[in-house]
Amino acid sequence: MMTLNSFPSFYVYYGRNKGRIMDTKELLIHYYSYFMDHLDEIFEKYKGQFVVIKDDAVVGAYPSEAEAYSASVKKYALGEFLIQECKSADRESYTQ
């Protein structure tokens, strides 16, 4: 089972705060916050799919978590992206 401790420790973040160094946990929390902040528009476009978030953007959408993971690890290192199921427009249905 993968945990946050399994990932490399630090990444340079290139989104809104360009060049800021974040640890993996902070980066994934940031990407989750991006998802929640943009939930309405993401849900409208990607309802029922698994979205991949990196650098404050949806960089992919897939019908299954396995497909999202498989495609993402070919492009990015573990801990550099977040996969989130876009299952509802209701913010209360999501947990971090």
Closest among 27, 24, 29, 30 to 7, alpha carbons compared = 24
- Give, for all 96 residues of the chain, the pLDDT tens digit: 344 444 444 444 455 555 667 788 888 999 999 999 999 999 999 999 999 999 899 999 999 999 999 999 999 988 889 999 999 988 888 887
Cα–chain center distance at 38: 12
pTM of the model: 0.78
Rounded Cα distance between 74 and 34, Å, is: 23
